[in-house]
C-alpha cells in the first residue's frame, strides 16, 4: 500500500471514529453527485445520525462505504417485515443507491461553508423533490464546459491580422 492510499485509509477511519463518538466533522466535498445543491470544493459539516434521531426523506445523509463517506439525499424509507431500509440518491444521479440499514448511515449534513474553490455555499435544506434529470443535464453541461475551456491553445489559434 502506498503512502497516499495509507493516509486516505487513516483519515477515513478517523472520520468514522469521530462520528461514532458523537463528534461533528467537516470534510471537503468532491464530485458532482449532489450538484447543484453541493458543489465540488464545498466544506460540509456532518453530524452523527444519533444526535437528532433517524433521518427523514429529503435530508442529506453521509453513508459509510468501503472507500469512505458518500453524501446523498435520502429519497425514501421502506419498512418490510419489521426491517427498515433507507434508499438514497444523489441529486444529479441517474439511479438510486442500493438499500441500506441505519448502521450504514454515518451522519446527516447540518451545515456547509464556502471556500475559495467554491465561493457559493451549499444548499442543504430538506428537499423531497429534487429535479434529477435537470440536475444531471446541468452536470453534463458543466463538465463539457470545463473540457472545452481546457483545450490546448493550438485548437483555438488566433485569427491572423488583416493586411
pLDDT for position 158: 64
DSSP string, 50-68: GGT-S--TT-EEEEEETTE
pLDDT for position 112: 85
pLDDT for position 150: 80
Residues of the chain with pLDDT under 50: none
Q: Which domains does the chain have, with CATH numbers?
A: 3-151 (2.10.109.10)
Q: Could you read off the pLDDT of 38-68 as tens digits, one per residue?
A: 988 889 999 999 889 899 999 999 999 988 8
pLDDT for position 155: 55
Q: What global pTM score does this model have?
A: 0.83
pLDDT for position 32: 92
What pairing do the DSSP bridges indicate for beta strands 105-113 and 83-89? unpaired
pLDDT for position 95: 94
Amino acid at each position: 500500500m502506498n503512502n497516499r492510499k495509507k493516509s486516505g485509509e487513516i483519515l477515513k477511519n478517523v472520520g468514522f471514529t469521530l462520528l461514532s463518538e458523537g463528534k461533528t466533522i467537516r470534510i471537503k466535498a468532491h464530485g458532482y453527485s449532489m450538484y447543484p445543491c453541493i458543489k465540488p470544493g464545498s466544506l460540509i459539516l456532518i453530524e452523527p445520525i444519533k444526535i437528532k434521531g433517524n433521518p427523514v426523506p429529503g435530508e442529506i445523509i453521509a453513508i459509510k462505504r468501503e472507500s469512505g463517506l458518500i453524501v446523498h439525499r435520502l429519497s425514501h424509507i421502506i419498512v418490510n417485515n419489521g426491517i427498515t431500509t433507507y434508499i438514497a440518491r444523489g441529486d444529479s444521479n441517474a439511479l438510486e443507491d442500493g438499500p441500506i440499514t441505519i448502521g450504514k448511515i454515518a451522519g446527516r449534513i447540518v451545515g456547509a461553508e464556502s471556500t475559495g474553490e467554491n465561493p457559493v455555499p451549499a444548499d442543504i435544506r430538506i428537499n423531497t423533490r429534487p429535479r434529477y434529470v435537470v440536475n444531471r443535464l446541468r452536470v453534463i453541461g458543466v463538465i463539457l464546459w470545463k473540457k472545452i475551456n481546457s483545450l490546448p491553445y493550438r485548437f483555438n489559434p488566433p485569427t491572423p491580422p488583416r493586411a
